[in-house]
Amino acid sequence: MIYFAAPLFNKAELSFNTSLTTELEAEGFQVFLPQRDGVEADKHPYLEMTREERRRTTFEMDRDKVIECDIFLFLLDGRVPDEGACVELGIAYTHRMLTGCDRFIVGLHTDCRAAFMGSRLNPMLGMAIDVMVESGKDLMVVLKKREEVQRAHGSEA
């Protein structure tokens, strides 16, 4: 399962996330997209929760889905990466380091803006990412290649 960590606070972000998820799912990947699959304030049982209960539930659900995922996809677009997605990256990376799980961490950066002079990405983020890609097409190539390698290793076991 792919956990799609991305900003989701305006129509453009929501639309991009949905579109890329549709492409990934058309290629056979299972995707957890928080804006679609996570806590939604206007749906049961979240509708009955207080704002603080929804915030805690959101954190716990997203944390658990990050820990469950095989692939962590981090959309880095924007002037700076989304704060929540940065925390999720930290969870994904640390969980992998502590457990030795085979999680693949991919950064997608289609945006030419960068907050750090002389480099596109803060090393505290960049060093936690296995592969950086700059387009949805490149993302598909990397994910398909990883899938092939996984199948090959699975058949040898």
Give per-residue burial for 52-79: e unless 16+ CB within 10 Å, then b: eebeeebeeebeebbbebebbbbbbbbe
pLDDT digits (tens, 9 = 90+) for 98-141: 999 999 999 999 887 766 556 677 889 999 999 999 999 999 99
In the chain, the number of structural domains is 1
pLDDT of residue 115: 61
Domain boundaries, position 78: 2-156
pTM: 0.92
DSSP symbols for 85-97: HHHHHHHHHHHHH
Domain with 107 in it: what CATH number?
3.40.50.450
